[in-house]
């Protein structure tokens, strides 16, 4: 959601993964990306781009229903997607929808099916329009299933078959990316930016009944998916501008998925919407390798698995905090609605932790006492950023759609 809109997802009323349509007290069945949101494909379409999305959508609780906006309502000319995960697994999925029409069972594995559709769309594209193609693989998200030959390849290197399944799933997705790169080479496609990244850190093994094949590693980073520590939010990103002489190498610049919206606007000359974007253009990083972030990055995740629901990165420093109402810490919430809004709004930031991420990316050494001036400055900045986020956060209500 943040990637598509360039805004913190809390502002769109998306506080956790979007569940299905079962009615719940906390209004999770209402959650969706609302029509008022501006998106990357919408912006690029207005600048003459053809647009398509293939794979995971996961932006509404009522997928492929007139009750909520769908991909075509946000600037996508063509869509081939699932609501959330491929079901019953990556193998022979049954839940893909193409432009509003259910497809039924498709033989094969999800990432290759998605790439088949993407390359087919490119082949059938006869106009001269530039294009924006968004590919969202399901692999290696659970429920994992992988080609037998790849599983056999990794069995000698794995502790069990489940781990081999996970490794094979990662390679299968890698092969799908390779097919795209080969297609672009074969068809001599130039002046095209290819971005490969992820949405969060890896799942914790056996956290749920379905995550028994979740052998993803954070190396030495603290935490996993659903944490505000680096293991939950630090992900790989590869940017390649094919046909252009640009920066080549690695960078430790602080970049967010929120940044792609303004970046694409600057690089294409498309007009940005008249809304406050939380991301900032990283075009200078792509072109020269030089980039210094001006805006702090803030995370406010009320269902975090670690205790610190709020985190902020600014420069080399990262500060984390818990939330507290009087003598009680704020409990975990999957959604913010009229029934818990007062608790959230009135909770105070507390139990701060400070880390120098440039020197200590594994968040091993809490350094607030040794850096008192930085600590006070970061606390002040965090309070400002968090209060601003609260003021713009969307609160669900069955009667009004938003709590006062």
Three-state secondary structure call for residue 292: coil
How far is Cα 46 from Cα 35, in angstroms, rounded to an integer? 16
Domains in the chain, CATH or no CATH each: 2-288 (3.40.720.10), 297-392 (3.30.1120.10)
Let me know: does 358 contact 364? Beta carbons within 8 Å: no
CB contact set of 267 (below 8 Å; sequence gap of 6+): 193, 283, 286
279 backbone φψ class: left, alpha, beta (φ>0; ψ -120 to 50): beta
The closest of 234, 30, 22 to 14, measured between CA atoms, is 30
Length of the chain: 404
- For residue 297, what are the CA distances in angstroms to 228, 316, 382? 12, 12, 10
Give the single-character DSSP code of 10: G
Let me know: does 325 contact 394? Beta carbons within 8 Å: no
Let me know: does 49 contact 129? Beta carbons within 8 Å: yes
| Helices within 187-289 (DSSP H only) | 230-233, 260-268, 283-288
* Cis status of the peptide bond prior to 140, with omega within 30 of 0: yes
Start-to-end CA distance of the chain, whole Å, equals 24
| Helices within 157-236 (DSSP H only) | 161-186, 230-233
DSSP codes joined into one string, 151-168: HHHHGGGSSSHHHHHHHH
The closest of 325, 324, 329, 297 to 311, measured between CA atoms, is 297
310 strand-pairing partners: 300, 321
The closest of 249, 247, 387, 375 to 314, measured between CA atoms, is 375
How far is Cα 214 from Cα 203, in angstroms, rounded to an integer? 6
Q: What was the pLDDT predicted at 21?
A: 81
- How many CB atoms within 10 Å of residue 346? 11
Let me know: does 213 contact 163? Beta carbons within 8 Å: yes
How far is Cα 404 from Cα 395, in angstroms, rounded to an integer? 8
pLDDT truncated to tens, each residue of the chain (404 aa)?
899 999 999 999 999 999 988 899 999 999 999 999 999 999 999 999 999 999 999 999 999 999 999 999 999 999 999 999 999 999 999 999 999 999 999 999 999 999 999 999 999 999 999 999 999 999 999 999 999 999 999 999 999 999 999 999 999 999 999 999 999 999 999 999 999 999 999 999 999 999 999 999 999 999 999 999 999 999 999 999 999 989 999 999 999 999 999 999 999 999 999 999 999 999 999 999 999 999 999 999 999 999 999 999 999 999 999 999 999 999 999 999 999 999 999 999 999 999 999 999 999 999 999 999 999 999 999 999 999 999 999 999 998 765 54
How far is Cα 104 from Cα 267, in angstroms, rounded to an integer? 39
């Amino acid at each position: 959601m943040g990637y598509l809109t360039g805004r913190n997802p809390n502002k769109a009323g998306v506080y956790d993964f979007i569940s299905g349509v079962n009615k719940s007290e906390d209004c999770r069945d209402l959650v969706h990306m609302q029509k008022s949101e501006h998106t990357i494909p919408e912006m690029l379409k207005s600048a003459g781009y053809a647009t398509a999305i293939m794979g995971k959508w996961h932006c509404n609780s009522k997928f492929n229903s007139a009750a909520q906006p769908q991909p075509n309502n946000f600037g996508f000319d063509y869509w081939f997607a699932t609501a959330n995960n491929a079901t019953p697994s990556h193998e022979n999925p049954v839940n893909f929808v193409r432009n509003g029409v259910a497809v039924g069972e498709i033989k094969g594995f999800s990432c290759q099916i998605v790439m088949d559709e993407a390359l087919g769309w490119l082949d059938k594209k006869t106009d001269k329009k530039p294009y924006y193609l968004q590919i969202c693989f399901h692999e290696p998200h659970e429920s994992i299933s992988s080609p037998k030959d790849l599983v056999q390849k990794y069995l000698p290197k794995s502790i069990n078959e489940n781990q081999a399944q996970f490794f094979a799933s990662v390679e299968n997705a890698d092969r799908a990316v390779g097919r795209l790169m080969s297609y672009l080479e074969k068809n001599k496609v130039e002046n095209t930016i290819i971005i490969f990244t992820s949405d969060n850190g890896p799942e914790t093994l056996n956290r749920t009944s379905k995550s028994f094949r979740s052998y993803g590693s954070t190396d030495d980073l603290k935490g996993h998916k659903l944490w505000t520590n680096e293991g939950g939010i630090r992900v790989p990103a590869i940017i390649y501008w094919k046909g252009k002489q640009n920066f080549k190498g690695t960078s430790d610049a602080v970049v967010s998925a929120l940044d792609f919206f303004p970046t694409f606007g600057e690089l294409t000359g498309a007009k940005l919407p008249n809304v406050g974007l939380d991301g900032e253009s990283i075009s200078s990083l792509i072109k020269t390798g030089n980039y210094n972030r001006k805006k702090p990055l803030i995370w406010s995740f009320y269902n975090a698995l670690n205790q610190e629901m709020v985190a902020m990165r600014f420069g080399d420093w990262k500060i984390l905090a818990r939330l507290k109402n009087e003598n009680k810490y704020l409990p975990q919430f999957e959604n913010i609605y009229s029934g818990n809004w007062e608790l959230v709004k009135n909770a105070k930031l507390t139990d701060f932790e400070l880390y120098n991420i440039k020197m200590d990316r594994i968040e091993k050494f809490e350094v607030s006492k040794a850096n008192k001036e930085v600590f006070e400055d970061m606390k002040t900045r965090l309070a400002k950023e968090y209060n601003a986020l609260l003021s713009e956060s969307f609160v669900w209500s069955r009667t009004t759609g938003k709590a006062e």
